[in-house]
Structure 1
Amino acid sequence: MSIERQCIQATAAMSKRAQASPSTSQPKRAKFASDQSSLKAFFGSSPRLTPANSGAEKGRNNVTEPVRKQLNAKEIATPDIIDLTSDSEPTPGNYGSNNINGLSAAAPQVSDVGGSSGAVLPSSPNTPSRRVPMKNDIAVLPNYQPLGVDLFVYDVQENPWPVNEPAPYSFLVHALVTLSGTRSRTIILNTLTNMLRTLLNWHRPSLLPSLYLLSNCLSPPYSPVELGIGSSVISKAIQHISGLTSSALRRLYNSFGDPGDVAFEVKSNVRTLVPHPPLIIAAVYECLLKIANCKGQGAAKQKQAIVEKLLVAAKGEESRYLVRTLSLNLRVGAVRTSILTALARALVLTSQTSLGGPDRDHSPYHATSKLISLVQPLAAEGKKVPDGAREKLHEKFIQAEALVKKVFVQHPNYEHIVAGLFNGGLDNLDLHVPLTVGIPLHPALGSPTRSLDEIYDRLGDLPFAVEFKYDGQRAQIHGVRGVNNDNPSIHIFSRHLEDMTTKVSYPSDGGLKSFQELSNRARKDVEMSDIKVSVCVYAFDLMYLDGEVLLAQPFRERRSLLRSRFPPFSPSDKGAGRLDHVESCESEAGKDAIEEFWQKAVESHTEGLMIKLLSSDAMQEDGTQKGNGKRKPLSATYEPDKRTSAWLKLKKDYVVGLGDTLDMVPIGAWHGNGRKAGWWSPVLLAVRDPRNDYFVAVCKCMSGFSDLFYKEMVAHYSEGSDNCSGKPLWETNTGGFRPDVYFRPHEVWEIRGADITLSPVSLAASGLCSSSRGLSLRFPRFIKTREDKSPEQASTTDFLAQIWKDQQGKSKATAGDADDGDLVDVEPEPEWVVGGAGESDG
């Protein structure tokens, strides 16, 4: 019997967060997840290190005068030399090996990222023990070229490190330092592009680990690999190599406000007897994987030993960014979109032959060396000069960026993409890295509308379907039918592409549930006999079936295949799952039928409606179909990670006022007064600025919160914790707002408001709607915490500006690129993927 492959998107009516129950857990970052509690614990969980409890009288520190003034004499260990020459087993306090956890560092010379002068010392493992302390344990760093310069000024042929040696970690840190020092998108893209070009030219094995380290993750989002390092591990490691007490470290944190800055200050004063070989990029990444793989009894000590080895070998700025990586906060303005854009540009400037492909003069993606040589340097002060060669390269950049992003959103796996690139370059990347069952793709997204009238204004007479927007969890179901009718292999992925197969095996009694009812269900590794709250999988789209990718097919055809190949299933056994199709109505039935269906949605436990174009066509720019004048195409294809007018959403809670709620990020607060004294009220809310890669404040919010929520918010954002600071530590722009405290932007709240207004205080969307004012939200009200969204998926300034323009009577279809996301990579096999869920727009 043949093996059958199918891929369906669906929505499972599963639990979302109840309105009154706030999220005290941090949203899961891309596989660098950690259960760190607070920075008080970060620096306060270990006892003071003394010769009696340190295991050896080797961990001491020398503190600079500014820091010494903040510390008591009893908190500073006196010796300023660390003996690191022992060859015994790596245990806390023993750093004998010149390998980093078994990973050899290759280059024999070391230098300081900060550029301080000093003599280069030998680093051979056989160097005899000598009391020759290095100044601040830092030698001279190679003078790397500036990375933020124009791509055609940067000399990629210049040797950044010795030939045939692996890329040093200091080169990656050089890029991170540059990124953290600018908010210019041009400099950010130049820095990333020039860095990746250098790795492609001088050490390609470092490309993949660099992409993961830049992304602050270890693996694809659907992979179970997590760093899993607690705050106490980092705290003990820093204490052990410095000799400082927990109170001294806590005092340093209160002064600097960032664990990476504390590590840099502490480590810069530690001296070693023997210099360590430089860290290399691949070795650092492998050490992080080893930390993730430490399991069982003694895992914490094993992780601490690896962290200590890394910190001891780190020099200069390396210490700062190692700890920031371990703490899940690199604090640089580079997100996934920027990394993919830079990767595409670096590949355009890399020859096809070096990537294993034929050297073609007319490749739409790769530039020839002749074309690159014709590009003129940019004029002084940014003045533009006519440059045909640069314009041709810009066209190739645009095509390459679109290709890389398209491949990534359908196959979010850097390892597969890099392998595909090394197997022929960009020209055949989509063939080498196709959509694959077993690897989730990014979901399509819905554009908000405010009324049924607006839907008809946008779509005119074009045929469309309206579907219930279920109040549950969106899911993507992948399945492969077994050979000889064996049981199929099933995987279910969340909207964040995380594998949640063990969390969603629930049957249904046929009725829709409320938030409160659904929130009581168990979340993980559930036994069928223990199920008390039942749900159903409602399938609404099909993206792959029997080896054929269906993304380019119109929705009408995809839906027809879904209904014919996957009929509803409702067994009598309550222990078995139930499958049904999303309830829907079509525009051909007339406006009265659509109105009646809308009323049904309002009266049921749904969020509203999803409106989906059935067939591709074109519309007039003014919203009417046919006639003369300019027409814009409307495609009924499935567009991963994009918002288009082919998918619209109409929420019943927001028919009056805004057409949609906003997904906003809390970034600060004021101390409450009166009954709210002791609580945070109001809270400062922000949206994401995609141009500057930070969160920008929009408005204050003090409505919609229950007393329970206020209490839990105070606990979650307690002053002095890693989530709350009196100083602006994180990448935010508060404009004219001056909150009492600043929150770490790490969770998303759904907010409802009356309308969008111009504001003299807010800087959100400044320049998009007004040259002198930003945008703010009137009468904001908290709805619920969006556990299914990360801060990178919060509403953007562009989205805010579009709502404001719609309000002004300039209604235009919401355009293209949406929330940042990652791609999926899968290998072809007979399989199927079903999507089903409670909210069908993601």
Structure 2
Amino acid sequence: MSKRKNVSSVSPTKSKRAKTDTGQAKLHQFFGPTTTNSKLPQKSSQTQTFIQGSSKPVSVANQSIPADVTVIDVDALDEVEVIVEEISAMSTSRVEPTDLISTSKTSKAVKMSRTIEDVEVDHLVFSPFDVEPLLYEPEKQPGRADKAPYALLTHALVGLSHTKSRIAIQNILTNVLRTIISRYPASLLPAVYLLSNSLKPQFIPIELGLGSSVISRSIQQISGITSAAMKKLHTTTGDPGDVAFAAKSNLRTLIPHPPLTIPYVYESLLKIAGCKGSGAAKEKQKIVEKLLLAASGEEVRYLTRTLCQNLRVGAVRTTILTALARAVIFTPPLGKPSPIHPSLLDFLTPPASPSKGKAKDMEKERLSAILQPAESLLKQVYAKHPNFDQIIPALLENGMEGLAERVPLAVGIPVLPMLGSPTRSLEEIYRRLGDLPFTAEFKYDGQRAQIHAYKSENKEPLVKIFSRHLEDMTGKYPDVIALVKPMMEEFNISSFIMDAEVVAIDSVTGALKSFQELSNRARKDVNIHDVKISVCIFAFDLMYLNDQSLLGRTFRDRRELLRSTFKSKHPGNDSFMAHFDFVNSCESEEGQSRIEEFMNEAVESKCEGLMLKLLDKAPVEEEPATKKSKLKSLPSTYEPDIRTSAWLKLKKDYMEGLGDSLDLIPIGAWHGNGRKAQWWSPVLLGLWNHDTGRPVAVCKCMSGFTDVFYKSMREKYDPGNEDCSQKPLWQCDFGGFKPNVYFRPHEVWEIRGADITESPVSVAAQGLVSSTRGLSLRFPRFIKKREDKGIENASNPAFLVGMWRNQQREAKDGLGEDDGELVDVDVLSDSNVGSEEEDSDI
């Protein structure tokens, strides 16, 4: 034992083990914590970011990441590095992937020997999270110190990945958040970010910037396996997390590492995002290696997936918000003796006999009546102020009480935009709205922009511009900033939030140009003197003016304030200054024939169609699923993050019979035949299912593509890169479709089809129309890429069902029924699916 304790004094040449290890590559040395050098040069250029309301402007570094993220300038780091030596030798046998995966061959796997006294880490054993929240007791979960163990979050992620049940997913998230609120409140914010697979709010431009090569090298270095073994592991498992888990499953280190905590993992990710300079990749790899070495068991798998930004669990934003609201209700973060909400106490008393039938349904309704208001409140607050950095501290400070007042709408924090519902014809619009007054506006072919402006304490105007996805695109439009700042002075405005459309125009004639021309602009850090494409800001709504929120006012009032406060501005031939105008509009009082004429004017002006907006709040008769009609109030207020029937969009494509337009997600493909053998054809497309938070396959498309597009698609979706795989790495519901390759869902295509049909292959909208069949699109044809949309904005099953029902109502000869072209792939072999069905255009 004395020799073990004094291992540093033992010469490797005298060690028998060292002799047997001659020629074996050593394990990569793992670096200790980076010491912050207070003498490192700091950037001095600064701008101001601002949050209007109770808070004042905050000065932050003018960088592409938030102020609270440490920027590590790798070029300026000292040469001296703190090195912790893990072990001096390894077993002579190399690690083979089959040995790591198969439990029956563990004797062949490499065994990393310890050269000091064995010290076992105290592994925590957690109780299940997927129980009813009323029966869950967070205080009984094991834990350490004051920081939440990463193993706690991993335990929840394992449960999430093994279920598709919405109820189970909701219970797991609720209970893990309750545990953190009860035991580790300071860890709640990083836990929510890690669960949502993000680092900061969407409007803060921060990215990990980790390439697959950095992660692969890190796994190799900490496990000692060869590149060939890594490749075999990836071929066998198809998932980076599974590869890392298998590669490290038999690794034994000299000194047990301190267990990972949730804050440490999150802070490490921020450090990775902050690495800048020519040596950034090397520094990032060090941090990744430290994380992977400290991780154990399932932590390795989910840590790697987090680094790849693909957790593969069904936790979407709305689900996390619902779980967070429930967690705060069940476990109020106020330090009270009883963690149970008073209204929930009666549910804890066991009834004399279990409730059944109507009694059980009534209990569910009572519980829902307690939880639903909190869920709704939190979602509304997030829609107006989508920033967990403010929401989480407010919840921990005083729970749900007064949350809307404590986290209000704020200038500088983008609002989740209000969205319109698609319609097929003017007849449908008049059927919905009847004689209610509405306005028709041009639907421009541009980029939606949310403009925030505020005067600082020194009266200097500050401007921010956000996209519909809340991305900060201020640096893309210096000409818009040059327009807005003098407008604030001219019209005596202290602050505003405006909803508008940025459209490319001819600076001389003012003629509208296409979105494609606008997209030719650089995306960031544009110099105003380099602007070649002039733009016009077409304003259509006002959500905030002079320190007052306008969200609760009718659209008629908001529009009046917009037009009375601002004036049109056209700087002539000055291409360095944007133009400002209001959307071209027409009122319903002018009659249906005038609205039809206005639609033709929109098409002739190269617009996409019309937006029809209700001016005043009124009850309207909605088209019911049953024979009984019902009245539903349509708000004319601004409803963030809601697709409402008070805003209806009528695109020119929607008016061409059955050739309706859908926004679909490419999620897979088959190998082409004949002339298309070198390309992907057909391509599998999917809808976005908001309930599950993943795409659901709906049809195959092989029409509308040019050879140039086929070639670029084959280069983009190559099995050798991160966007394409021969295994289903990304969560999608494929139904009966079995493509040859799978695509990473990340882009949206506009597709038109002949009609909608019931399908035994597709599971899209299954249960909404038929219990056994879904819906599919017949003869789909590619129109264009929708670069202005993310996958969460793609068409959803409910929209497809609405189109199908309209088609069924208008058809007189049974259109929409399956014509026999759809083949049930469950009874076919994989090879048949790729060949016999390829030309069916399903």
Output the TM-score relative to the length of structure 2: 0.78
Between 630-639 and 495-504, the greater mean CA deviation after superposition: 630-639
Q: Give matches, 1:681-700, under 5 Å.
A: 681-700=681-700
Q: 1:56 to 1:180 in 2, by over 3 A?
A: closer
Q: Which amino acid aligns with 1:323?
A: T
Q: Deviations over 1:334-388 (max 9, x none)?
A: 11111011111111112474389xx999xxxx544633423669969x9785376
* Aligned residue in 1 for 2:232: 251
1:144 to 109, 126, 130: 126
Match for 2:289 among 308, 323, 332? 308
Residue 328 in structure 1 maps to residue 309 in structure 2: yes
1:67 aligned to which of 94, 98, 109:
98
Where does structure 2 lack aligned partners over 5 or more consecutive residues? 1-49, 54-63, 68-83, 481-504, 812-842
Residue 448 (structure 2) pairs with residue 450 (structure 1): no
Specify the alignment match of 1:374 in structure 2: 349
**What's the TM-score, normalizing by structure 1?**
0.78
| Separation (CA, whole Å) in 2 of partners of 1:613 and 1:653 | 22
**Structure 1 unpaired stretches of 5+:** 8-27, 32-53, 84-128, 812-842
What is the identity, as a one-letter code, of the residue corresponding to 2:595? I
Query: In the TM superposition, what is the alpha-carbon distance from 1:520 to its structure 2 partner?
Result: 3.1
Q: Aligned-pair distance for 1:78? A: 9.7
Paired AA for residue 170 in structure 2? L
Conserved? CA contact 2:541–2:562, under 8 Å:
yes
CA contact (8 A) 2:201 2:386 kept: yes
Q: CA deviation at 1:82?
A: 7.2
CA contact 1:667–1:685 (8 Å) conserved in 2: yes
Aligned to 2:112: 81
CA–CA distance in structure 1, aligned partners of residues 363 and 759 of structure 2: 43
Give secondary structure in 2 for the equivalent of 1:152.
Answer: helix
Q: Which residue of 2 aligns with 1:751?
A: 751
Q: Is 2:441–2:610's contact at 8 Å kept on the other side of the alignment?
A: yes
CA deviations on 1:577-621 (whole Å, 9 max, x unpaired) are 211111111101112221111110111211111110011111234
Larger Rg: 2
* Contact kept in structure 2, 1:765 and 1:800, CA below 8 Å: yes
Cα deviation for residue 782 of structure 1 reads 1.3
- Residues 749 and 784 in structure 2, CA contact (< 8 A), matched pair in contact too: yes
Q: What one-letter code is carried by the residue in structure 1 that aligns with 2:400? A: L
Structure 1's 764 and 622: CA in aligned 2 closer, same or farther, altered over 3 A? Answer: closer
Partner Cα distance (1:685, 1:489) in 2: 42
Aligned partner of 1:764 in structure 2 is 764
More helix by share: 2
Q: 1:601 to 1:256 in 2, by over 3 A?
A: same
- Give 1:788's aligned residue: 788
Cα deviation, 1:747-775, whole Å, max 9, x if unaligned, reads: 22121223222112111111101122100
* 1:524 equivalenced with 2:524 (yes/no): yes
- Tell me the equivalent position of 2:325: 344
Taking the aligned partners of 1:377 and 1:140, their CA distance within structure 2 comes to: 42
Residues in 1 aligned to 2:634 and 2:361: alpha-carbon distance in whole angstroms = 35
Determine whether 1:459 maps to 2:429. Answer: no
Q: Shift of the alpha carbon at 1:265?
A: 0.5
CA distance in 1: counterparts of 2:637 and 2:445, whole angstroms: 24
SS at match of 2:608: strand
Q: How far 1:245 sits from its partner (Å)?
A: 2.2
Mean Cα deviation higher: 412-421 or 209-218: 412-421
The answer for the alignment partner of 2:366 in structure 1 is 392
User: What is the match of residue 640 of structure 2?
Assistant: 640
Check the 8 A contact 2:109/2:250 in 1, yes or no.
no
1:781 positional shift: 1.4
Residues 275 and 353 (structure 1), Cα distance of their counterparts in 2 relative to 1, 3 Å cut: closer
1:493 to 466, 469, 484: 466
Does residue 161 (structure 1) correspond to residue 143 (structure 2)? The answer is: yes
Aligned residues: 700
Q: Does 1:731 align with 2:731?
A: yes
Q: CA deviation at 1:299?
A: 1.8
Residue 820 of structure 1 is matched in structure 2 by: none
Q: Does 1:560 align with 2:560?
A: yes
Q: Which residue of 2 aligns with 1:807?
A: 807
* 1:604 is aligned to 2:601: no
Alignment match, 1:676: 676
Letter in 1 for 2:118: V
1:392: how far off? 2.6
- Is the 1:650–1:660 contact (alpha carbons within 8 Å) kept by the matching residues of 2? no
Which secondary structure does the structure 2 equivalent of 1:157 belong to?
A: helix
Question: Aligned partners of 2:147, 2:101: CA distance in 1, in Å?
Answer: 41
CA RMSD in angstroms comes to 3.2
Q: Using the alignment, how far apart are the partners of 1:655 and 1:480 within structure 2?
A: 42
Q: Give CA-to-partner distance per residue, 1:137-187, whole Å, 9 cap, x none.
A: xx563221111111122222314214x532110010000000000000010
Q: Flag the 1:685–1:171 CA change in 2: closer, same or farther, 3 A.
A: same
Q: Identify the residue that residue 272 of structure 1 maps to in structure 2.
A: 253
Contact 1:5 1:480 in 2 (8 A): no
For residue 417 of structure 1, report the CA deviation from its aligned partner: 0.7
Cα pair 1:350 1:367 within 8 Å, conserved: no
CA offsets per residue over residues 530-563 of structure 1, 9 Å max, x none? 2222111111100001111111111111011111
Identity %: 55
* 2:187 aligned partner: 206
Counterpart pick for 1:418 among 392, 400, 403: 392
Q: How far apart are residue 317 of structure 1 and its match? A: 0.4
Distance 1:592 1:321 in 2: 59
**Cα distance between partner residues in 2 of 1:59 and 1:552:** 69
Cα 1:801/1:635, change in 2 over 3 Å: same
Q: From the superposition, tell whether residues 635 and 597 of structure 1 become closer, same or farther in structure 2 (CA, over 3 Å).
A: same
Counterpart residue identity of residue 215, structure 2: I
Structure 1 residue 518: deviation in Å?
2.9
Alpha carbons 2:653, 2:659 under 8 Å: kept: no
Q: Residue by residue, what CA displacement relative to the aligned partner does 1:673-716 show, whole Å, maximum 9, x if unpaired?
A: 12212100110111123333332211110112111111111111
Contact 2:694 2:733 in 1 (8 A): yes
The answer to whether structure 1 residue 504 and structure 2 residue 477 are counterparts is yes
**Structure-1 residue corresponding to 2:176:** 195
Q: Check the 8 A contact 1:263/1:319 in 2, yes or no.
A: yes
**Distance in 2 separating the partners of 1:332 and 1:654:** 35
Matches within 5 A, 1:463-474: 463-474=437-448
What do residues 238-293 of structure 1 show as CA deviations (whole Å, max 9, x unaligned)? 11111122222112111110000000001112111221121111111111111111
The Cα of 1:653 is off from its aligned counterpart by: 2.0
Contact 1:59/1:240, CA 8 A, preserved across alignment: no
How far did 1:664 drift?
1.1
1:241–1:312 contact (8 Å) kept in structure 2: yes
CA distance in 2, matches of 1:191, 1:245: 38
- Kindly provide the amino acid, as one letter, of the partner of residue 371 in structure 1: D
Q: Please name the residue that 2:653 is paired with.
A: 653
Label 1:542 to 1:253 Cα distance change in 2 as closer, same or farther (>3 A): same
1:825 matched residue in structure 2:
none
Taking structure 1 as reference, are residues 147 and 527 closer, same or farther at Cα in structure 2, changes over 3 Å only? same
Aligned counterpart, 1:666: 666
CA–CA distance in structure 2, aligned partners of residues 722 and 505 of structure 1: 34
Q: Secondary structure at the match of 2:140?
A: coil
> Are the structure 2 counterparts of residues 59 and 719 from structure 1 closer, same or farther at C-alpha, using a change threshold of 3 Å?
farther
Report the CA distance shift for 1:396/1:58 in structure 2 as closer, same or farther (over 3 A): farther
Distance 2:809 2:663 in 1: 23
| Greater relative CO (CA pairs within 8 A, separation 6+) | 1
**Once the 2 structures are TM-superposed, how far is the Cα of residue 665 of structure 1 from its aligned partner?**
1.1
Query: Which runs of structure 2 are paired with 1:31-180 in the superposition (5 Å)?
Result: 58=88, 67-68=98-99, 80-81=111-112, 130=116, 132=118, 141-162=123-144, 164-180=145-161
Q: Could you say which residue in structure 2 is the equivalent of 1:91?
A: none
Moved more, 556-565 or 746-755: 746-755
Tell which deviates more after alignment, 757-766 or 731-740. Answer: 731-740
Indicate conservation of the 8 Å contact 1:58/1:82, yes or no. Answer: no
Question: Secondary structure at the residue paired with 1:732?
Answer: coil
Does structure 2 conserve the Cα–Cα contact (< 8 Å) formed by 1:554 and 1:637? yes
| Larger displacement relative to structure 2 (195-204 or 227-236) | 227-236
> What secondary structure, in the 3-state scheme, does the structure 2 residue paired with 1:176 have?
helix
Show the counterpart of 1:815: none
Change (3 A) 1:78 1:725: closer
**Cα distance in 2, alignment partners of residues 526 and 691 from structure 1:** 39
